[in-house]
Structure formats: structure tokens, C-alpha cells
Structure 1
Amino acid sequence: MEENLGQLNRQIIVILDFGSQYSELIARRIRETQVYSEVLSYRTTAEQLKQLNPKGIIFSGGPSSVYDKKAPHCDPEIWNLGVPILGVCYGMQLMVQQLGGEVTSADRGEYGKASLLIDDPTDLLTNVEDGTTMWMSHGDSVTKMPEGFEVLAHTANTPCAAIAHHEKKLYGVQFHPEVVHSIGGIALIRNFVYHICDCEPTWTTAAFVEQSIREIRAKVGDKRVLLALSGGVDSSTLAFLLYKAIGDQLTCMFIDQGFMRKEEPERLVKLFQEQFHIPVEHVQARERFLNAIAGVTDPEEKRRRIGHEFISVFEEESKRLGPFDYLAQGTLYPDVIESADTNVDPKSGERVAVKIKSHHNVGGLPKDLRFKLVEPLRKLFKDEVRKVGRSIGLPEEIVQRQPFPGPGLAIRILGEVTAERLEILRDADLIVRQEINRQGMYNQFWQAFAVLLPIRSVGVMGDQRTYAYPIVLRFVSSEDGMTADWARVPYDFLETVSTRIVNEVRGVNRVVYDITSKPPGTIEWE
């Protein structure tokens, strides 16, 4: 863990990741209690943990059985640190096995919702309602507890659904308290954080902003910083934070590749320059990008070419505007967890950029274009970035901006992208945004947008036969974008949107609604 974060957060809950799909979610739930948490590999040693001085440790779930030959195991010295530990699902089974208990394959697995029947309503389960719903996902079960452990709760199929060694402050739960389906999960997590680990709510937005500004100034000094601005909440929050810290030492570059929504580039540049007085270099490159993907129909090839062109433009413009010592990137904590890679300059020991992680997220910068990195947001989740943005004055229209893909409308036009198709989709997309805003529905969706299909169908308008494109409406709800469900919107709203698109957008004679969830589909069509 970085020293600066250690200074800001004198207390930390560490999550050791054993391969669970929910490890990030555990960290987010802890931070929602205003206590800092961080996800580390299960390979982290007791000595490394001792240096972090955590207030508590959580062992995540995982896909393995503790008896698998390649099952992940922790450093056994961790049990002797004297730090409260909570094992979740696989984490509980590992705790039991390593401390002398027994885990066996259950006669009946338990998956989905189950009623938690509480035997000891104190300590970990204080204020957790008896019979509350918890989310189960396990095939193995504890059949013999280690010495000194007691059963806290059970379910119809699992005799040891929650266990504890009160004296050593070791706890285990066979369910997943971090998921939204576990009704009493947040209360349990708060009990562990506050009652058992004795934490205080010091992980606040104000504290983060204050510390980040100090760190940026100390790191950058009087050097210049370059930021690729996209208009999304990540890069915009980063721009505001950097400008507060270093003022005109910051240069924001906005590359207009021609695939953004109607009037969005102009509005973005005007907002930053005129309203917030943050200088933005507006690079006009629409024709270059359109030529780069002319005739391309494969979505991956589209992305590759757009990425390559972005890098070329970025390189040219940074040399024209430079020199710069630092590149600011809107890297977030999920990016850090998922990539887990660092590129270190052998001379300075600092991380250097070999890829641009911005709104575009499109491949690597040339290796001879080297910057030291400034990544103030790299320990934040998306919801925390929104809180920071709001606290430092970012307008609500950007704070609540729905996710927008780096290649933009180029991947919402299936098949070849042409100037004509871009104009059609921009007009249809504008109507979608106007109507959801008019109905006050914008924040109800994770994403709501239009897609243009590269086919034509027959229609009739004013007694005339038409042969025009269809528009697909895609509205989804989601918590994190990993899974999504299609939104059940009122029919009369869909009718209004459809009528406006067909009547107002030349070249469209049909509107359809996508009712596919993710999985099996994806949110975007390409």
C-alpha cells in the first residue's frame, strides 16, 4: 500500500482475494461505512500485512474447494497476527480447515436466497434480524468446527452458516453479506468494521480531496502536466482536482474524433473554458478518424483503428504543446485490481505510461513517449469519483453522466461508419436523451441510448413507400455494468420516442426495443 494513503487512512480493512467475483464489492461495502479498504492477493504474507497494520482482514470467497490440489491458501502466520478476521464463504472454509476443523462436500449445495436463523444475536450478528435473507453460493460445508469456535447462525441446509471464536475475534460466514440480495448483510459488515475492528469513519471525500491536493503539489512541483480530457466523470473530476492543485501547470487536451453525441464536444469545451476557466486544447480530428475506419465493418478492427489513430493524434499534439513531465490518467481502483501491472522506469523508479487509460482506453502510447504518471483517482471506485467530483464543484450533468464508450457512436453503428449514418444516429440519440430528461428518467438507467443497424426495411410514410434504417433503443439498469437488465419502461414513453424518431430523423422508418439482459447479451452492441 502506498505511503500517502497510509498517512490519510491510519486505519484500513484488508480484503485478501481468493478469486471471488465479489472481492471488489466487499471493498466497496466497507468504504460505504467510511472506512478505507483495499483488495490484496491471497499471497500477501503475514509480514507484509503487519507493515500495513490493518484494523481487520476479510478473506473473500472463491471458486475453489479447500481440498483442490491447486486451491489458494494463505500464509498460516496470518492467524497469529492478533487482528480480527472475517472469512466469507471459501474464506470461512479455509479458516476452518487451517485451524483444525473439517470441511466436506455437502449432500445438498446451497445457492441463492436462504433464511438465516440466528443462534447468537450478539457480536457479529447484532441488529441482524432473525430469519433475514442471505445469499448462499457453496457446495462444501463445515462439518466440524475448530476448537474454541461457536455457531452463530444456521440455515435449513447449513448447520454452520456463521461461526466465531470470540476471544481471538475470528469469524466466518457461509453466505455473501456484500451482495445486494443479502438483506442483513450491511448490518453484519458494519458490526465487523465498527464493533469488532473498532474502526472510525475517517474515509471521507473531504479528507481525500485535501490529501490529494497536497500529494499532487508535492509530486509535480513546478512541472507541467498533460491530461487527455474526454468529458466523462473520471477525466472531468481529475481535471478539476488537478486544476485546484496546480492551476495553469495543467494542460487539458480534448481530441474530437467525431464520434461523440450531437453538440457534446462544443458544450464540453465551452463549459470548461468559459464557465470553469480551465484551458482546453480542442483538437479537431473528425476527418482523420472517419477516414481511418472507412469501409471497416468488424467491431474489433474499428476499435483497433480508432485506438491507433487516437495514439497518433495524441503523440503529435503532445509534442506540439509540450514538453510535459507528467501524464495525468483517470485510472480507477477496479483498473488497478484487474490489471495488477506496474511499469517502472529503471532510473527513477517511478511508474511510466505505456498505455493511455482514459475515456478511450485504447491501447499503448509509443514507448519513446514517456511520462511520469499522476493518478490521484487510482484508489477510488466509480461511485467515490462521483462524490469527489460533486464535492469540488463538477456540474451535475457530468457527475451523473451515463457511461459512454471510448469509440463513441462508431460502435453504436453496426457495420461501416459513414458521415450519413453518424448524422442519423446523432439525431436519434438526441431525441432519446431529450425524452428521458423530459420525463425525469435519466438517473433511472445505467445507460439509455440508440443503435443504428446497417440494414433497411420497407415502410410507408404519407402514402409513399420508404426503404430506411431501423433504430434500436437500448435502456438498461445495473449497479456496476458487470451485469445488466433491460429496463421496463412505460409503453407510452416508448411510443413517444418512436414517433419522434420516425417523424424527425430522415432515413429512419422503424424503431425497436432491445429486451436482452447481460448476460447473455452485452450492454453495447459492438
Structure 2
Amino acid sequence: MGSSILSDISASGGDNPVLILDFGSQYTHLITRRIRQLSILTVCISGTSPLHAISSLNPCVIILSGGPNSVHADFAPSFPDGFLKYAEENGVPVLGICYGMQLLVQKLGGEVGIGEQHEYGKMTITVVEKESRFFSPEASRGNQTVWMSHGDEVLGLPEGFKVVARSLQGSVAAIENYSKKFYGLQYHPEVTHSPKGMESLRYFLIDVCGVHTEWNMADVLEEQIRNVKSLVGPDEHVICGLSGGVDSTVAAVLVHKAIGDRLHCLFVDNGLLRFQERERVMLNFQKELHLPVICIDASEQFLARLKGVEDPEVKRKIIGEEFIHVFEEFAPKVEEEVGRSPSFLLQGTLYPDVIESCPPPGSGRTHSHTIKSHHNVGGLPERMNLKLIEPLKLLFKDEVRKLGKFLNVPESFLKRHPFPGPGLAVRIPGDVTKGNALNILREVDEIFIQAIKDAGLYDLIWQAFAVFLPVGTVGVQGDQRTYGYPVVLRAITSEDGMTADWYHFDRNFLVDVVSKICNQVRGVNRVCVDITSKPPATVEWE
């Protein structure tokens, strides 16, 4: 997975990227996101990637992320041998953040050790060097609040470095060696808890490093069309599994623009869809998208494979495998029609999918943890007859929506809330085939989403859905004791799906929705509301 991403970046004709070396921080991909908001091409790869992988990208700036490790720990992740020499000889500025700064200091001969006191949360720092190259003149005045999260700290500087900022407790907060273009921050400028952090990153990247701010979705579109044309031969064909969501739709329209009728789309009913999803999606395809789409009902084979399966990771992998089986069974039909078997499978994989589905062994990301396997990334079988095309896998969801606008994808597709590839399987903990769980969940979800639309809230919410809990709960309905099921309502706000907060519904809205669910859906006698942010939770329950 990692190597294919590097190939995509290297093959593109855009500006040299700001490269982030990931050492496992929970904020690493937030740095990527923040810098992209400055219209700068930003790419994140493993901090332990080999030197040739780093140099092949020809980065204009390299950022060393934070991480949960101590630089003194056994097997602590580190950049490859020769990295600092490469950066210095090629004049590539290096910025270490938190663990990244400590690693930079240690490798250059400085001292890192356990501080007298840990610094976690909001802290105050003061810029003590007015000639700082990292802090703008405005940021150098007075104190500023930043977000710290570290146990170790810098106790001794390498030769040529100077301290440019300290915390009020006296610890080193920022260092510089301008002659080598090496910089370090002990705090996290990328989080909103560091109010002046983005201002400092903007000043550093644009004013100090001279990075171009010309990366945009129009360039991404041109590059990906070129990539698809170069990858897919003039006589080769591509299969696309369309779900009706933003990702697969934008991917399909992009590839159709590149290769035309050699793209063959199919919509698979896996038995895990929402209320009347198949009918609604196929109608939208016909009325608005104008792409030829074939519908395949494979619900029986999916549900048969899932019967008795409770582990969420196993469920995801089964669903991923079954999708591939359906696509491979569809390939001979394409061959009958066009005289040639399709060679590629198109998927709308996004950057968060790749991030959360930790790459397989050999990718180098041993210091990152798998959050969950996405059916189109970690859930794919190791051997497939079709080669993958994933033109969106370096993009976040909001970036895909912008790309869709350039492609004139109808708003009805672009504004749809995300829906997971495994469908309702990840919204029913345990065996999805047990009892009437799928039908109950479909009815509850339909009432909830329709209420949100009727209240004019749909476009304000990133994603909303219901969850079925397979446990019995006592209730009183119609003056009689009932023993039914609880359901959970979840609605979140987000920019990119990497972090999220729960949507604060008006009390009257919730009272009305709960009343409708309990009165209209047989088998439900209790409704809960999930008010957990991401982190600590993920958006989906499984």
C-alpha cells in the first residue's frame, strides 16, 4: 500500500511536496490536513521509510511528527541513516515536532532526558530570541498559549542550535539552527489548542521556506486523469463498484472522463443497505449521473457468509472478500460484451481509509496502530485477479467533494452523508443475521434521517445514523411490559472525518424523534444518543 502511494506522488507532475514523516502521533495527519488548507501539496509517509523513498519525492520541506515513544526506548522509530546529511546537502528545511524535535536533537549529539515536570495540555511559552526564523515578528511579541504533550525534554542542544522559545516552567519549547535549516518545536502547532500555531506554520513554510501555495483541485484532477490514462492501456477495461456515495461516484466520473466507455459500473446490493437504498440509488444514477450502471443482488451470498460472525474485523474482511468475488464474477460478462476481460478494479478509497487501515507487513509503519480495517483497504483478499485503481487515496473527504464540483457531479451525490462500505454490518454489533436486526435498524435510521432533513439540519451534519444494540431491554408500551431492543442515534460534525464532535440537537427535536421511533418501529422500546467525540471513539461503532 505504501509503495503504491509513493508511486502516485512521484508520477504526478505537481510541485514538490511538504513531506511529513510519521512517527505515530495521533496528530500526524492533522498536520497534513492543516498544511493542505494553505494550498500546499502535503504528503505523509512512515518515518522509518528508506532514504530512497524520501529522496524520490524531492520534498521542499520535511516535518518530523510527534509520537508516543521515548527516543531512549528500545526499537524507538527513527528516520533512516543518511537522512540528515541528505537534508543538509540538498538544502531541505527540517522541522521536528515534539518527538520529532527530540529525535533531531538526539541524532545530532544533543541531550534528551526526563524533565523535572511533565507538560501536558495547554501551556504558555515565551519567544526569547527576537531574531527567530520560525516565529514571525508579530508572534515573537509577548506570550502565547500552546498545546504540549511530552514527558522527555531537551536538556542540551547540539552544536549550532539556539533556544528561541521556552515554556513558563523553563523547558525548551523551540530551537533553531538556521545555517543547517533545522528547526524544532516541543509543542503541537497543528491543533486548535495552539491558537497561533497555524500562523506560525504559514510563516515558516511560506515566508521562511518559500513553499509555493499553488496546489488545488484543478491540478489534482488533471494529474489523476493523466495517471489513469498512463496506467490503463488503450484496450484495457475497468470495473467500478458504485455505492451511490460521494467517493465512488467522484472516482467513477473521473475515470470515465479519462477512459470513456471502457469503465463498467455496477451497484451491488449486499443485503446490508439502508431503507430502500437500492431503488433510490439506481434512480439517481439514471436521472442525474448518466453513467451506465448494472445492479446485482448479492444479498444472499453476503448474509450467508456473515451468519454467526460476531468479530467486527472478521465481518469487514468477509465483506471485502465477497465484493471482490462479485466483481470477478462480473468480469466474464464484460468480456462477452467487449471481447476482453477487465484488468482493473476502481475504488473510491480515501486518505483516512488508508490511515485507519494500517498497511500490511513490510510497509514500514510498525509504530502505527490499526484502528479498523476498511473493507476496500485492509479487508481486501491478498490475491485478486484485478489490479486496483484508487485515484482519491491521497485526498480527504472535503477535498473529494471539491474535486467532484470540478467534475460537475450533481449536488445530490456530493452532499450525501458518508455511508460505510460494510453498510449496516458495522452498525449492528455481533451477528447481523440474528433476528430482525437489519429491518429494525433500517426503519429507525429512516425515521432519524428524514427528521433531520425535515428540520433543515442535513447539510449542517457531517454524518448521522442509527445503531442497533443486540441486547434485551425492559419497557412499558400500551400499559404492558415489553422486552425489546435499544437503539442509538449518532450525529457528528467534522471537516475531514479524522476528528469529529457530536451534533448538539435541540431537546424538542430529540423528543419528537424518540417518540416516532418507539411508536412506529416494532421491537424498539429504548432510544439512546451517542455524544462521544472522535477521539476517543471512532465515528462508526465497529
TM-score with structure 1 setting the length: 0.87
Which of 470, 473, 479 in structure 1 is aligned with 2:489? 473
After the TM superposition, which residues 85-104 of structure 1 pair with which residues of structure 2 at under 5 Å, given as runs? 85-104=94-113
1:114 matched to which residue of 2?
123
Aligned twin of 2:21: 16
Name the aligned partner's letter for residue 18 of structure 1.
F
1:423 aligns with 439
Q: Does 1:393 align with 2:408?
A: yes
> Residue 247 of structure 1: which of 240, 246, 260 is its match?
260
Residue number in structure 1 paired with 2:365: none
Higher relative contact order (CA closer than 8 Å, sequence separation 6+) = 2
Aligned partner of 1:78: which letter?
Y
Partner in structure 2 of residue 382 of structure 1: 397
The one-letter amino acid paired with 1:11 is N
In the alignment, is the contact (CA less than 8 A) between 2:288 and 2:410 conserved in 1? no
> Which residue of the partner structure matches residue 280 of structure 1?
293
Which one is further off, 477-486 or 216-225?
477-486
- In structure 2, do the counterparts of structure 1 residues 419 and 315 end up closer, same or farther at CA, with 3 Å as the change threshold? farther
Note the C-alpha offset of 1:58.
Answer: 1.2
Matches within 5 A, 1:125-144: 125-126=135-136, 127-128=138-139, 130-144=142-156
Corresponding residue number in structure 2 for 1:204: 216
CA contact (8 A) 1:448 1:476 kept: yes
Do the aligned partners of 2:320 and 2:381 also contact (CA within 8 Å) in 1? no
Is the CA contact 1:14–1:57 (under 8 Å) kept in the aligned structure 2?
Answer: yes
Q: Does 1:162 align with 2:174?
A: yes
**Correspondence 1:105-504 to 2 at 5 A:** 105-120=114-129, 123-126=133-136, 127-128=138-139, 130-220=142-232, 221-294=234-307, 299=312, 302-303=315-316, 305-322=318-335, 323-336=341-354, 339-340=358-359, 363-365=379-381, 367=383, 369-414=384-429, 415-417=431-433, 420-463=436-479, 466-478=482-494, 481=497, 484-504=500-520
Q: CA deviation at 1:519?
A: 5.8
Q: Which residue of 1 aligns with 2:85?
A: 77
The separation in 2 between residues aligned to 1:149 and 1:52, in whole angstroms, is 28
Helix, strand or coil at the partner of 1:114: strand
1:155-181 Cα offsets, whole Å, 9 max, x none, are: 112442112223332211111112232
For 2:262, the aligned partner's letter is: Q
Note if contact 2:228-2:255 (Cα within 8 Å) is conserved in structure 1.
Answer: yes
CA distance in 2 between partners of 1:279 and 1:395 (Å): 16
Distance 1:27 1:73 in 2: 19
Structure 2 counterpart SS, 1:132: strand
Q: Tell me which amino acid in the other structure corresponds to 1:387.
A: K
Superposition map of 1:2-13 within 5 A: 2=7, 5=10, 7-13=12-18
Instruction: Give the AA of the match of 2:181.
Output: K
Q: Note the alpha carbon deviations across 1:455-509, whole angstroms, 9 max, x for none.
A: 4545454556555433322234455555655443222111011112123323333
After alignment, is 503-512 or 136-145 more displaced?
Answer: 503-512
Pairing 1:30–2:35 present: yes
Q: What code does the residue aligned with 2:347 have?
A: Q
Report the secondary structure of 1:450's partner residue.
strand
What is the root-mean-square deviation of aligned Cα atoms in Å?
A: 3.1
Letter of the structure 2 residue corresponding to residue 178 of structure 1: E
The amino acid that maps onto 1:62 is G
Q: CA 1:327–1:134 in 2, change beyond 3 Å: closer, same or farther?
A: same
AA of the residue aligned to 1:157: Q
1:318 positional shift: 2.5
The 1:440/1:132 distance shift into structure 2, 3 A limit, reads farther
Q: Which amino acid aligns with 1:470?
A: P
Residues in 2 aligned to 1:50 and 1:304: alpha-carbon distance in whole angstroms: 35
Question: Would you say the 8 A contact 1:17–1:39 is kept in 2?
Answer: yes
1:425 and 1:49 map into 2 onto residues whose CA distance is: 47
Taking the aligned partners of 1:48 and 1:291, their CA distance within structure 2 comes to 43
Structure 2 CA distance for partners of 1:423 and 1:79, relative to 1, 3 Å: closer
The aligned amino acid for 1:29 is R
CA deviation after TM superposition for structure 1 residue 308, in Å: 4.4
For the 8 Å contact 1:118–1:153, the answer to whether it is kept is yes
